[in-house]
């Protein structure tokens, strides 16, 4: 079975970030451009775009998540993970890419996830 979610350790536990059609629709409504395709083409994302992606993708499995709770999780994540906001952007880019609804070639996004997992393993080995 093809994995269509990205694991992220945030808020004190391992969570799954996943994009469904509903999550993509909600994300587009929150984006300044209102277009997920243009977001994926951008080299740099705003903090607003990163948080919107994380919020919509986590809500798939955690319906009761609030923005206040997520803000706290993100602040803690960025304090613990080097270049935390960049790391979150890469995870969200990968989650969008592997969901199978936005692009047809998952390869580059699987490579992003593998690199992030290698980085985590190196950090744990320190």
DSSP per-residue codes, 75-86: HHHHHHSTTHHH
Tokens of 61: 């499995």
Q: Are 34 and 28 in contact (CB under 8 A)?
A: yes
pLDDT over 80 at 98, yes or no:
yes
Given a cut of 60, is residue 1 above it in pLDDT?
Answer: no
What predicted TM-score, i.e. pTM, was given to this entire model?
Answer: 0.87
Give mean pLDDT, residues 108-118: 85
- Encode pLDDT of 46-90 as tens digits: 999 999 999 999 999 999 999 999 999 999 999 999 999 999 999
Per-residue pLDDT, averaged over 92-119, amounts to 87
Contacts for 101 with CB less than 8 Å, ≥ 6 apart = 19, 20, 21, 24
Tokens of 13: 């536990």
Bridge partners (DSSP) of residue 6 are 17
Structure tokens at 15: 């969570």
């Amino acid at each position: 079975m093809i994995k269509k979610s990205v694991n992220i350790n945030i808020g004190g536990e391992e969570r799954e970030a996943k994009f469904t059609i509903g999550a993509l629709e909600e994300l587009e409504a929150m984006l300044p451009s209102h277009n997920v395709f243009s977001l994926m083409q951008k080299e740099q994302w705003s903090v607003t775009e990163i948080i919107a992606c994380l919020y919509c993708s986590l809500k798939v499995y955690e319906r009761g998540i609030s923005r206040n709770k997520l803000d706290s999780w993100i602040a803690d994540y960025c304090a613990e993970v080097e270049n935390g906001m960049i790391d979150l952007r890469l995870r969200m880019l990968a989650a969008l890419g592997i969901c199978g609804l936005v692009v047809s070639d998952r390869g580059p996004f699987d490579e992003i996830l593998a690199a992030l997992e290698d980085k985590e393993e190196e950090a744990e080995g320190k």
